Amino acid sequence: AMKALCCIGRDGVAALGKELIDPQQSNRAGILVILQDPWVVGTNGFVAVPFLLSCLNDPDSHIAEESLVTLGEFRAEPAITVPALIKLLRRHQNPWYRRQAADFLGGFGELARSSVTNLLEACEDSDFQVQTSATNALQMIAPELFGTNAFSGSTKSIKKN
């Protein structure tokens, strides 16, 4: 039944989104699995973005994590998704979330230009994987920041404008 809702288009995806944000819904994880299926959601993933964003701070860590992964896979609605990813990158206690946020910002490319300052700061994160993800994201978003030498992993080798 959930796959059928998605296959009927935007209204179906919106109906699933409403169920996803309902903490009383018993199959929220199943809804996320359906939303992650590109064959089912098609080009309607953007409809789910506001619902996924509201799940990023869900008390159920599985729902929060899978919502973040789904957002990253969609790469939709950058005007609202990029600021939410920046917030995770800056404030989340768990380095996994910060790393994912950096990775997904990189996936937006030039559309995530507003994240450059925060990604530069993340290059100095206490977690090496966050540093690496931030560096990779910067290479996709603002390659002009990198000199002709290979990036050494420190913001000292990035040209400051």
- pLDDT tens across the length of the chain (161 residues): 565 655 667 888 898 999 999 999 999 999 998 888 877 777 888 999 999 999 999 999 999 999 999 999 888 899 999 999 999 999 999 999 999 999 999 999 999 999 999 999 999 999 999 999 999 999 999 999 887 443 444 454 454 44
Q: Rounded distance, CA 73 to CA 13, Å?
A: 16
d(CA 3, CA 28): 14
**pLDDT score, position 11:** 87
Determine the pLDDT at residue 44.
84
Give the per-residue pLDDT at 142.
93
CA–CA gap between residue 110 and residue 135 (Å, rounded) = 15
Place of tokens 């992650």: 36
Distance CA 120, CA 23 (A): 36
Distance of CA 90 to the CA centre of its chain: 13
What is the reported pLDDT for 161? 43
